[in-house]
Amino acid sequence: MNVFISKNIPSQAVELLKNNGFEIDINSDDKNLSQEELIAACKQHDFLLNIGHANLDSHFFSSCPNLKGIALASVGYDHVDINAATRAGVAVSNTPDVLSEATADIAFLLLLAVSRKAFGRAREIPAGEWKDFSFLHELGIDLSGKTLGIYGLGRIGYELARKAKAAFNMNIIYYNRSKNPKAEKDLDAKYVNFDDLLTKSDAISVHTNLSPETEFRFNKDVFKRMKSSAIFINTARGKIHNEKDLIEALETHEIWGAGLDVTDPEPMSKDNPLLNMTNVCVLPHIGSATIETRTKMATLAANNLIAAAKGKQMPQVVNK
């Protein structure tokens, strides 16, 4: 029984796999593998512990007939053709819950940083632009008592709403496939339709998965319907907003600011105009990047593989 691990992971998870009888091969130079490189590695392995967002499509599955299971170390699985995996008899698992707090922290950080133009103002210092104290230069906006709209109120959206309520007493409204009674009870969150989410929110934070329904959901038309004082935050997937439309909405002041932990493509080009806007903060997809969370994600992925190797259902299987 052997496993290919597509990037370096915390040693605790490697040890766990070893102690459960796995032979392990790791892509230890940590470089992104092309699909053909990943196929070449997976052809010789029973299992894959996959880090990152390489496209695992029907070509991948038909090229790896020995593969029995894939443990993704991510909650999102939009990069995997789940139907093709199921047809090929490959079980796929993800890592929900363990990254909700850390990802919500990054959404919260972006919300606060954008509201105070923190990244743009910090750039003034190395640029030698911090000179006289100015009373009116590049002012931010307060969050206290404002309305936070959550697009997709699942585990991560709930955590952000909880933090925003506790820290800034923000009013929470949300748009979701179904109502979230826990958020309504705990946080007095109000379910609204999409149009109300756009027109009533002072900040909108995206916490949904990428699907045909959500792809480019935040586009020219949608940004136009938001408040001109609104902040747009996306820590979910870069393809949920149309980047060209977002840039235009910011340049024409249709919205006030944006905070992104996800872009399309990733990595973002260093020449992207968003990087020079004072009212924009961009991070390089670090939602779950804490020591504790990455250790929990890798351990959960390892435990999914251990179950699969024993012929059991992986606890976090996504194609039951």
CB of 75 to ligand DGY, least distance (A): 4
Least separation in angstroms between CB 232 and ligand DGY: 18
Rule CB under 6 A: choose which of 50, 74, 293, 319 binds ligand DGY: 74
Among 9, 48, 56, 75, binds ligand DGY (CB under 6 A): 75
**Residue 138 C-beta: closest distance to ligand DGY, Å:** 31
234 binds ligand DGY (CB under 6 A): no
Of residues 10 and 76, the one with the C-beta less far from ligand DGY: 76
d(CA 203, CA 258): 9
Given the complex with ligand DGY, which of 81 and 254 has the nearer CB atom? 81
Known catalytic residue: 237?
A: yes
Angle at 239 between CA 107 and CA 157, to 5 degrees: 30
- The active-site residue, picked from 45, 207, 285, 294, is 285
Work out whether 287 is an interface residue with ligand DGY (CB under 6 A). yes
Active site residue 217: no
Report if residue 90 touches ligand DGY, rule: CB under 6 A.
no
Whose CB is nearest to ligand DGY?
76
Instruction: Please identify which residue in 25, 76, 227, 275 interacts with ligand DGY, judged by CB under 6 A.
Output: 76
Task: Pick from 176, 288, 293, 303 the residue near ligand DGY by CB under 6 A.
Answer: 288
* Catalytic position from the list 116, 237, 241, 294: 237
Q: Is residue 96 part of the contact set for ligand DGY (CB under 6 A)?
A: no
Tell me, yes or no, if 285 is annotated catalytic: yes
Residue 284 backbone phi and psi in degrees, to 5:
-85, 60
Give the span between the Cα atoms of 60 and 33, in whole angstroms: 13
CB of 53 to ligand DGY, least distance (A): 6
Among 3, 85, 91, 99, binds ligand DGY (CB under 6 A): 99
| Smallest separation (angstroms) from ligand DGY to the CB of 19 | 25
Q: Taking CB under 6 A as the rule, does residue 6 contact ligand DGY?
A: no
* Number of residues binding to ligand DGY, judged by CB under 6 A: 6
* Residue 230 makes contact with ligand DGY by CB under 6 A: no
Q: Smallest gap, in angstroms, from Cβ of residue 74 to ligand DGY?
A: 3
The residue written with tokens 């991070």 in the block is 283
Secondary structure (H, E, C), the chain: CEEEECCCCCHHHHHHHHHCCCEEEECCCCCCCCHHHHHHHHCCCCEEEECCCCCECHHHHHHCCCCCEEEECCCCCCCECHHHHHHCCCEEECCCCCCHHHHHHHHHHHHHHHHCCHHHHHHCCCCCCCCCCCCCCCCCCCCCCCEEEEECCCHHHHHHHHHHHHHHCCEEEEECCCCCHHHHHHHCCEECCHHHHHHHCCEEEECCCCCCCCCCCECHHHHHHCCCCCEEEECCCHHHECHHHHHHHHHCCCCCEEEECCCCCCCCCCCCHHHHCCCEEECCCCCCCCHHHHHHHHHHHHHHHHHHHCCCCCCCECCC
**Which is closer to ligand DGY, CB of 56 or CB of 189?**
56
Interface with ligand DGY by CB under 6 A: which range of 9-17, 68-76, 149-157, 301-309?
A: 68-76
- Nearest residue to 299 via CA among 2, 74, 13: 13
Q: How far is the CB of 158 from ligand DGY (least distance, A)?
A: 16
Catalytic machinery residues: 237, 266, 285
Would you tell me which residues interact with ligand DGY (CB under 6 A)?
74-76, 99, 287-288
